[in-house]
Structure 1
């Protein structure tokens, strides 16, 4: 199963140094039954993009909590066994929890399929969005507009061999 773990550049550097993404438990996003139902799609690429987008939103929240790290959203895509992933089907179609899963153990970085990261040109919008995400979560429409501005930037795809370059 492909899962998307939100992190930051500092978190990616720690994972690279440790050889694994952790510590457990790890919050991640994946194509869950609820995500499938919400998006009403059988196109796996479209559904995986939706899970990636949810992880990018979670990365933005990590940036808000850690103002000292570079202002780039980072998502690590990993392939893990279905049995390693837990999701709560009772959460239903709550848009705030769509695609959320949990991994009970740290995951070796060798299971990473790719890293998704903001381009340098997104930094201003991502910085503003990280500053506004708390207000957006409480219903501030102007803050929501600012957060949406970061979401207008597509995350770039990088091979795992490029991680040293990304964190350097």
Structure 2
């Protein structure tokens, strides 16, 4: 059977290398001038820390690679999303921790007022992510919708799962 697929573009190869954690290839592309780690996409305003978790989670090595290259950890895209928003949405706890350790702010709202701290449920099996957000100044009293704080939004009710209760209890310690 004949392969009629077009060959991968350099951009596609870079994306594949990100998701595979192929740092040698990424560095080679930098050295050859095909990859500028500080580049920001013109329309969406994504940097490489944003794109590392947009379509699927990248390994920790890729996140650290871009952090070491000086990619802005709190950059907001056209939606107001930071790399931390995307790491949490992807359920990439290790990436979220690396971003937080590099200074990611868990309080930055996107255009819909969604803050990384309020996204704790995306990494519900890793309360260490929530705890680090709280230790790094995550404010459970930020208003997120209809005059409700992040803490109030997590208040358990009769149908809450244990993980929801655990998130609320941990947030309460920092209230």
TM-score band, normalised by the shorter chain? under 0.3
Q: Which has the higher contact order (CA 8 A, sep 6+)?
A: 1
User: Normalising by the residue count of structure 2, what TM-score does the alignment of the two structures yield?
Assistant: 0.21
The higher radius of gyration belongs to 2
User: Which of the two has greater strand per residue?
Assistant: 1
